[in-house]
Copies of this chain bind each other. A is one copy, B any other.
């Protein structure tokens, strides 16, 4: 992502923090002082390098003439946003850009544990866990779970074969995994998975994986 060197990133971060704290960009001397340079030329060189790489724009002849570019990506936009993930394209990591339907402005730290992405629930399989059709759940990414936790499981849809996310309560005893819907209606049956025959096989045959654990939800309608 960042074409900047370590030092350049530090300096860009300093510019950002100065803007936040003082309301205006630093001078070359401010930067030199901050990083212990004895000459402001060092700061100037860095600024020109950062500008050349397109992260800032230097406005000639203007005191503190530093304009931040690319701030949508860095700060404003996804700082307090979470991606809403629908279906998952084959072979992509779950939060890959192609899988992101949209970004919602919700602070990830609101959830415990912190949410890494969101997923809209379809159907009533988790009704008795008070997760309803249309709810948006926050998922904390991790690749395993404790017994009894609700997980976001990724597995191919029985008909289309496309990978999709479903919420289930997770139980594991030895090599047997149970994914249990929270709905006592007879239509909802636990899914049993036996890991034993897969031992030594290629990863591709694994019928499911854990994308993360349930970390809370948003219900967007009254």
Contact = CB atoms under 8 A, between A and B. Distances in A.
A67 B23 contact: yes
A104 B110 contact: yes
Contact of A149 (B23, B25, B213, B222): B222
Tell me which of A22, A25, A222 has the highest count of chain B C-beta atoms within 10 A of its own C-beta. A222
A219 B221 contact: no
**Most B CB within 10 A of own CB, among A23, A110, A216, A221:** A23
Given A24-B65, A219-B219, 10 more contacts: A19-B23, A23-B66, A24-B24, A24-B25, A24-B67, A80-B105, A110-B220, A112-B222, A215-B222, A217-B218
A104 B104 contact: no
A158 to B, nearest CB: 26
B67 A64 contact: no
A125 to B, nearest CB: 15
A68 interface: yes
A150 interface: yes
Contacts of A222: 111-113, 138, 140, 149-150, 213-216
A24 B130 contact: no
A130 B111 CA distance: 18
Interface of A: 19, 22-25, 27, 57, 59, 62-68, 80, 104-107, 110-113, 130, 132, 138, 140, 149-150, 213-222
B24 A66 contact: yes
A80 B80 CA distance: 9
A190 B111 CA distance: 33
Nearest to A214: B222
A218 B218 CA distance: 4
Contacts of A218: 110, 216-219
Contacts of A107: 104-106
Nearest to A108: B105
